[in-house]
Amino acid sequence: QVQLVESGGGLVQAGGSLRLSCAASGSIFSINAMDWFRQAPGKQRELVAAITSGGSTNYADSVKGRFTISRDNAKNTVYLQMNSLKPEDTAVYYCNAEFGWGARARTDFDSWGQGTQVTVSS
């Protein structure tokens, strides 16, 4: 099993920045990609950014140019640097891990825990 713990959320004004962290533990040897999701009130959970163990990244169109995903493989930790934050970025942010065979540690049928809350005021 893989355990994932998010941190770094908070309350910021529009235009501000936050850096989220997610530490993975457990059976981490099988992890390939790691990614960040978010879920705003009344909306579906959406993929924000992803990064492979080799450093290849992908972003949702809504955050391109503003967010940067990175990881420290030695620490089994993935980060999300969020700049130029907008009120629309307000959501609970979750991380996830993808195994080498394509399955993720967290699925739509699992509890994703409490994540870390990001609130952007105007």
3-state secondary structure the chain: CEEEEEECCEEEECCCCEEEEEEEEECHHHEEEEEEEEECCCCCCEEEEEECCCCCEEECHHHCCCEEEEEEHHHCEEEEEECCCCHHHCEEEEEEEEECCCCECCCCCCCCCCCEEEEEEC
Write the pLDDT tens digit of every residue in 53-109. 889 999 999 999 999 999 998 899 999 999 999 999 999 999 999 999 989 999 988
* Predicted local distance difference test score (pLDDT) of residue 57: 98
Share of the chain above pLDDT 90, in %: 87
